[in-house]
Amino acid sequence: MTAADPKGVVDVRHLAVGYDGREILHDISLSTQPGEVVAILGANGSGKSTLIRTILGLVPAARGEIDLFGTAQRTFRDWARVGYVPQRLGAGSGVPATVGEVVASGRLARRGIFRPSGTADKAAVVAALQDVGLLDRIGDPVSTLSGGQQQRTLIARALAGHPDLLVLDEPTAGVDAASQEAFAAALGRFAAGGGTILLVAHELGPLRPLIDRAVVVHEGRIAYEGAPPEPAGHHADPDHDHVHPHAALEKAGICEWAPTDRMTNRMTAN
């Protein structure tokens, strides 16, 4: 993070977003400071993923303003400073691709599309894979990796571009415990190096100690902002088997983050 940033890394003011005439986010204002780790929490359908997708420009905003590193998002061009970690590997599969090839995509923002991959690019790919503990799989097809390892490949791809801001969409959803730990360690090193992190999560799990501030989105509005809510009940147990037989019927909200045992079983699976 450069000290020259006059404002926050991400500044969202009075943002509203809608699909097909239905408004999903209403009047969201949010700011992250350099070096801060912010978790956006919320139930399914609360609009938390839509919020970061709008910040990244993948979903158009209906109203409001978004600034990235002090520049209006619409005119922002320095995308190499942003590392995006989607929820899962893109749909494009059919053709095999190695872990190294996927991670090398993360260098394109830095070097542009005309310059061929150089030694610096290769070194960055190796370093990023080492960071997430997958260097030994560099030549393996990504399709042979477990879900957690694929997720670590995606964070390596983002880290390979040496971003100042990491944006992660549900990074630990459906990820095995070993991968979650490796994931948390890599994010911890990124944050310790002064990087800013904005992540959407359903459960914080091993990421909890990293979080400086939590923002809970409920029904398209920010319902809570402050210290990350304490884990409650057996859901906090890493070995807890998260089963939700009535997930679709439950209308979960901010309560799921409150530390009462009675409420914890209202958490919805993702």
How far apart CA 254 and CA 259 sit, in angstroms, is 11
Task: Please pick, from the candidates 105, 208, 244, 258, the single residue that binds other proteins as defined by CB under 8 A.
Answer: 105
- Are the CB atoms for 201 and 207 separated by under 8 Å? yes
Give the nearest distance from C-beta 155 to other proteins in angstroms.
Answer: 12
Q: Establish if 119 lies at the interface with other proteins (CB under 8 A).
A: no
How far apart CA 21 and CA 238 sit, in angstroms, is 40
The site for other proteins, by CB under 8 A, has a size of 38
Task: Give me the amino acid identity at 169.
Answer: D
Give the nearest distance from C-beta 160 to other proteins in angstroms.
Answer: 11
- Where helices occur in 96-232 by DSSP H, the ranges are 99-104, 108-111, 119-131, 147-160, 177-192
Listed in sequence order, the residues at least 6 apart from 256 whose beta carbon sits closer than 8 Å to its beta carbon are 43, 263, 264, 266, 267, 268
Total number of residues shown for the chain? 270
Distances (CA, A) of 227 to 9, 46, 213: 19, 20, 5
Which residues from 138-177 bind other proteins, rule CB under 8 A?
139-141, 157, 161, 167
Q: Establish if 224 lies at the interface with other proteins (CB under 8 A).
A: no
Q: Establish if 106 lies at the interface with other proteins (CB under 8 A).
A: yes
Q: Establish if 21 lies at the interface with other proteins (CB under 8 A).
A: no
Listed in sequence order, the residues at least 6 apart from 236 whose beta carbon sits closer than 8 Å to its beta carbon are none
Q: Establish if 120 lies at the interface with other proteins (CB under 8 A).
A: no
Q: Establish if 92 lies at the interface with other proteins (CB under 8 A).
A: yes
Q: Establish if 86 lies at the interface with other proteins (CB under 8 A).
A: yes
Q: Establish if 80 lies at the interface with other proteins (CB under 8 A).
A: yes
Task: Please pick, from the candidates 25, 43, 61, 102, the single residue that binds other proteins as defined by CB under 8 A.
Answer: 102
**Contacting positions for other proteins (CB under 8 A):** 56-58, 77-80, 82, 84, 86, 89-98, 100-102, 104-106, 108-109, 113-114, 116-117, 139-141, 157, 161, 167
